[in-house]
Every structure is written in structure tokens, then in C-alpha cells.
Amino acid sequence: MEEWITVISMILFGLFLIVAEIIFVPGTTLVGLIGFIFLGMGIGFSFNYFGSETGWITVGVSSVASGLILYYSFKTNVWSRFSLKSSIDSKVNEGELDLLSVGKEGQTISALRPVGKAEIENKMYEVKTFGEYLDSGRKIRVIKIVSNQIIVEPIN
């Protein structure tokens, strides 16, 4: 009786790990490999404990059970419960630069090395220079706006 418990528990644990691999950790990872090892060990123990006839029956039953589990899960669309159903269409900081234009002036809040923070028309922006380092508190002017990057130059 103990032999049957060992064989059945190893096969069920192996199948559980393989299903967990497919659902939660897709790809060939350690979980799936360990599942196949347990499945193989359970089948190997059945050959060892009960002989080749019972071993081959165990192989057949395990194969059919694996096939039925996969067929049932795909047929009933079990995997859809774990998939993302919505997508994000918005962008970060979308529309933030609409009020800003070339020629506006402001003041650096942090040192620009060459990227830092600046206040332009009472709003904080992340700005960039063409490689110059500017200290905090310097007057600046917007010279270019390219794909959410604000390029500034110092005002002397």
C-alpha cells in the first residue's frame, strides 16, 4: 500500500508542477523540469515496485491523465482567467508640454548635468542642455522641444 501512495503522490505532484509551470511560469523553467523528474520517478518506481506490466499501465494512465488535463484546460479556456484583458493606451506625461513653447524662460531648480529640474512659468519640468553643466538658480531659455525632451540654454 505504501508503494502505491508513493507512486501516485509522485505522479500527481509531477503533474501539478507541470501545470503550474504552464499557467504561472511559462517557458522551460526549473518548475517544469522538476515536475517531469517527479513524473518520471513515479513511473520508474511503479516499474520497480510492481513489475513491467503495471509499470506500462502506469505510463498509459499518466499519459491519458496528462492529455485530459491539457485538453480540458484548453477546451474550457481556463488560461483566460490568468491573462491580461486590458491594455494601456495612454502615455506618460501626455499633453504636459502643450503649454510650453520655444523661447519661454525660467530658472533651474537643480543643477543641470546635463539633465535636471527647472521651473518654467510656475511649473516644474525635467530639462536638458546640450552637454553644458549649469548650477542651480541660473536663468534659462527653451531652445528646442523634441519628443518630450526640453532642451534649454543659459541666459547670460
Quick check: pTM over 0.75? no
Q: Based on the domain organization, do 134 and 73 belong to the same domain?
A: no
For residue 22, give Cα distances in angstroms to 18, 110, 150: 6, 49, 46
Residue 86 domain-assigned (yes or no): no
53/110 same-domain check: no
Which residue among 79, 95, 120 closes a domain? Answer: 79
3-state SS string for 105-124: EEEECCCECCEEEEEECCEE
Within a domain: 90? no
- The residues near 110 (Cβ < 8 Å, ≥ 6 apart) are 116, 117, 136
Q: Looking at the structure, do residues 66 and 124 belong to the same domain, yes or no? A: no
Work out the angle at residue 141's Cα, subtended by the Cα atoms of residues 136 and 145, and round it to the nearest 5 degrees. 110
Q: Clarify whether residues 8 and 70 are in a common domain.
A: yes
How far, CA to CA in Å, does 26 sit from each of 40, 66, 107? 21, 17, 50
pLDDT tens digits, residue range 39-90?
999 999 999 988 999 999 999 999 998 888 878 877 777 667 766 777 777 6
Judge whether 89 lies within some domain.
no
Helices and strands in the chain, H and E counts: 3, 5
Q: Answer with the one of 79, 97, 128 that is the final residue of a domain.
A: 79
Residue with grid cell 502506469, as numbered in its chain? 58
Domain that holds residue 66: 2-79
pLDDT digits (tens, 9 = 90+) for 108-147: 999 999 999 999 999 999 999 998 999 999 999 999 998 8
Report the chain's C-alpha Rg in angstroms: 32
75 and 110 belong to one structural domain: no
